[in-house]
Homo-oligomer: A and B are copies of this chain.
Amino acid sequence: MLVVMAQGATDKEIERVCETIRSMGYTPLPMPGAQRTTVGLIGNDRRVDSTRVEELPGVAQVIHVSNPYKQVSREWRPDPTVVTIAPGVSFGGDEVPVIAGPCSVESEEQIVEAARAVKAAGAVALRGGAFKPRSSPYSFQGLGRKGLEMLALAKRETGLAIVTEAMDDEGANLVAEHADCIQIGARNMQNYSLLKTVGRLKKPVLLKRGMAATIEDLLLSAEYVLSEGNPHVILCERGLRSFDTNSRNLFDLTAIPVVHGMSHLPIVADPSHGTGRRDKVIPMARAAVAAGADGIIVEVHPHPEQAMSDGAQSLTPELFGDLMRQLRRVADAVDRQIAGVGAGVA
C-alpha cells in the first residue's frame, strides 16, 4: 500500500499517517518527492483495510499494490489449470471444447434433438437451462427439476457432458446431482452465498462475468469458490452492458488475454449472449478462438423460431455445423484443436 500525501501536507500530517500504519501492525516508509511525499507500508498481506488512512488530513490518495486475490493468480500458480468436466472434456489445455445447446430445456424431444444435432457437428458438451434467471417474473422460468432429468436423459442418449445453471442453494445441489458442470450466471456472479455453496460442492463451475464486472471482480468471485476448496473453475466472458443497442452486450474479447495474464484459470467465450444476434455469433466465435479462448459456449436450437427464450441469438443446427467447420480452421491457425473433431467429422 502506498499513501500519496497532498502537496503541502505538513510533517504532522505525515507523522499521523505513519502512526496509523504502525497502529495497524505495519511499518511505514516515508519517501519525500519533489512535489509530494509518499508513504509506503512494509509487510502488506492483502488484508489491509485502507479506509482508516484514506481520509486522514493531508492524504491525497491510497494506492494498493498487492492484488486482493490470491489462489486464482498466476503468481500463486504459474501453470495453467486444466479443468476436466467429463472424460475427454477439458478446458485450459491445447484442445478447445465447444458447449452447445438451447437456451432453455423445453421438452424431452427438444433437448434430445438438440443434443443429437450438436453432437453430430462436434460439440462435446450440452448446455440448456432448467432454472432460468429472467428479468421479468412473467417470462418462462424453466422446467426446474424436470428439466434436469431431461438433460440427464440427453446425456445418456449422446454421451455429451452437461453444463447447466443453478440460481440458489437448492438448485445447486440438484444440478450437482444431474450435471457435470454448474453454471453461475452473470446476474449471480456476486451472489457470494451461492459461490460458497458451489465451492463446497466441489463440482466444476462455469462462472460467467457480470454485466459491469471488472476482471478483478470476476477473479475475486472465482476466489470465493477456490477458497472453499474447489479449484475446478472455468471463467466465461459473455459481454458487458453497453450504450450501443446494435448488439445485446459489448463482447469484451480482450478479457481473454487479460485473464490469461493474471490467472491460471481457463476462460471460455459465449458469443450468443456476447452479441445477441444470430448473424454475429459465427464471426465473433471465430474471433474468440483467435484471441485464445479455452472453449466456446453457444446457443443452438433445433427450431429457433419456436424457442421459448433467446430465439434471436440461437443458431440452427445447420449454422452450427458451419460454425464448427470455421472454428476448426481458426483453431488450427492458432495451433490449437477444437475438441472432439474426430467425432464431428466422422
Give complex CA distance A309, B54 in Å. Answer: 12
Query: Which residues of chain A (248-289) have a CB below 8 Å from chain B?
Result: 250-254, 256-258, 261-262, 274-275, 278-280, 283-284, 286-289
Which residue in B51, B55, B68 is a CB contact (below 8 Å) of A136?
B68
A33 nearest in chain B by CB position: B42
B311 adjacent to A283 (CB under 8 Å): no
Whether, in the assembled complex, A305 has its beta carbon less than 8 Å from a beta carbon of chain B, the answer is yes
Residues 32 to 55 of chain A near chain B (Cβ within 8 Å): 32-36, 38, 40-47, 49-55
**What residues of B have a CB within 8 angstroms of the CB of A295 in the complex?**
none
Q: Give chain B residues whose Cβ lies under 8 Å from the Cβ of A159.
A: none
- Across the interface, A36 reaches (CB within 8 A) one of B36, B66, B241, B247, namely B66
Task: Say yes or no for A343: interface residue by CB 8 A criterion.
Answer: no
A180 within 8 A of B: no
User: Is A107 interfacial (CB-CB < 8 Å)?
Assistant: no
Give the residues from 56 to 103 in chain A that come closer than 8 angstroms, CB to CB, to chain B. Answer: 56, 61, 63, 65-66, 68-70, 75
Known: A136-B69, A137-B220, A190-B187. Is A42-B52 also a contact (CB below 8 A)?
A: no
Q: Are B246 and A275 in contact (CB under 8 A)?
A: no
**Please, which residues of chain B bring their CB within 8 A of the CB of A224?**
137
Contact (Cβ within 8 A) B307 A51 = yes
Residues of B within 8 A of A216 (CB): 135, 246
Quick check: is A176 within 8 A (CB to CB) of the other chain? no
* Cβ contact of A333, chosen from B257, B291, B329, cutoff 8 A: B329
Q: State the A residues within 8 Å of B (CB).
A: 2, 4, 6-8, 20, 29, 31-36, 38, 40-47, 49-56, 61, 63, 65-66, 68-70, 75, 133-140, 167-169, 171, 187-188, 190-194, 210-212, 214-217, 220-221, 223-224, 227, 240-247, 250-254, 256-258, 261-262, 274-275, 278-280, 283-284, 286-292, 304-312, 326, 329-330, 332-334
Given A135-B190, A329-B333, A329-B334, output 4 extra A-B contacts at Cβ < 8 Å: A49-B309, A55-B304, A214-B243, A290-B330
